[in-house]
Structure 1
Amino acid sequence: MNLNPYRHLPPSELRRLIRRGELSGPTAGLANGFAQANLMIVRRELAYDFLLFCQRNPKPCPLLDVTDPGCTEPLRAAPGADIRTDFPKYRIYRHGSLEQEVSDITAFWEDGMVAFLIGCSFSFEGALLANDVPVRHIEDNHNVPMYRTNIPCQAAGSLNGPMVVSMRPMPADKVVRAVQVTSRFPAVHGAPVHIGDPRQIGIHDIDRPDFGEPSAIGDDEIPVFWACGVTPQAVAMQAKPELVITHAPGHMFITDIRDEHMGVL
């Protein structure tokens, strides 16, 4: 689906369209000026371990909101929204394996579940564009490429795994500005974790992302990598809890939190 007609709608209207199934694609480029969020839903008995995992790994897992057990409303990020219906697409993982993708998780929701909303790098893309830094996956209207790396996360209880990164290619003369701009947004991953040769972080085929779709990299461009909120999905695949629910990569939750409220001067 072409998202261009929806780009300037407010978050509440975008969530309404998503809930009704009228908007089902990746959310990059939507609601510029408002934060987007990744999702991790776990049962109550795993919630402390995951909270500790986020605290120990703030670069890939910066927390925007955490619900009370059994509560489906993200009271800080978007009062009145529903975690079960307001993402375009969800993933159901059982024992570390992807079971299915669905557009509504009401049937999978359990009373003791806890939902974590994690900052997303889509949130700083408006600032990049405002500073004349190109964002290839928005230009080409496809999902951002994401990769597992050899960068280990710090373990918490039973949870451990590799960092996942998102990649944006850009001209060499724009890289410094991209670092400056994104450094102002630590709540949505902040500055890049790697610039240049992907093999140095364990990515051996840049044209075959683990999640999302590949972006073309020009001869005069450098790949730039940011920590990614899909990291919990890689952790779920490695730790193999009985059940976790996540967003489908690139299909984010659009919050009511304004980007400037998360930036630092």
Structure 2
Amino acid sequence: MLHLITYKYNFIPAGEQALHIVFPEQINISENQLIQELASQLRDSYEDEITDIAPAYRTLTVYFDIRKTNYFKFSNKLKKFLVNYTLEKKNTYGRTFEIPVCYDLEFGIDLADVASFGKLSIPELIEIHSSTRYFIYMMGFLPGFAFMGNVPDQIAMARLEVPRSSIAPGSVAIAGKQAGIYPVASPGGWRILGRTPVTLYTPDNPLPPFQAGDSIKFKQITRADYEAIKELDAHGEYQLKVL
């Protein structure tokens, strides 16, 4: 069992109806799993007072009903809860989804720069990127955008100094230790390594099949595979593989 007092954390007000529980600043799977488990336990324990709860990399934002409590009362109640809180230490991931990626140079517009950064050939870069399993720390920024990690140090190139005005949907990217997939067209400064033919967001289907606590494994595919999967996906005939 892991006791929460082994972690340093602070309470910070977030307006009149919310507070942040802030943990050490790091991209750490064990810490994030604790935050996600804590979110689940708080929902169950204070469902009458909590209106929403949002786990992130190192923070847990708790929204409370101002008609039933206030920051002072609610934060004291949570502090007492956390003093006695214990967690079964986890070293496991949730489900692992396989995402097909075409690393064609037309799609992977930053492949050459990231390969040069890591002193690698492009095939070596692709092998490192696609052989790593990426844990989903949080969902956000864009509908269906998964913030993932951890990118191996050798290829963990920092984001662009000047973001691009538009990134194509399905673009598979890294930014330092973070990894992600752009679900819709968007400005962005992450390094683009490839593209998936799978649609991750539509207004009629806003949530991807994966969520925080799951993980992603990328699978290299050819351009012909990309076009074939894109056609199947457009007709609702392609399902992501769960490993």
Q: TM-score range by the shorter chain?
A: under 0.3
Alignment TM-score, normalising by the size of structure 1? 0.22
Higher relative contact order (CA 8 A, sep 6+): 1
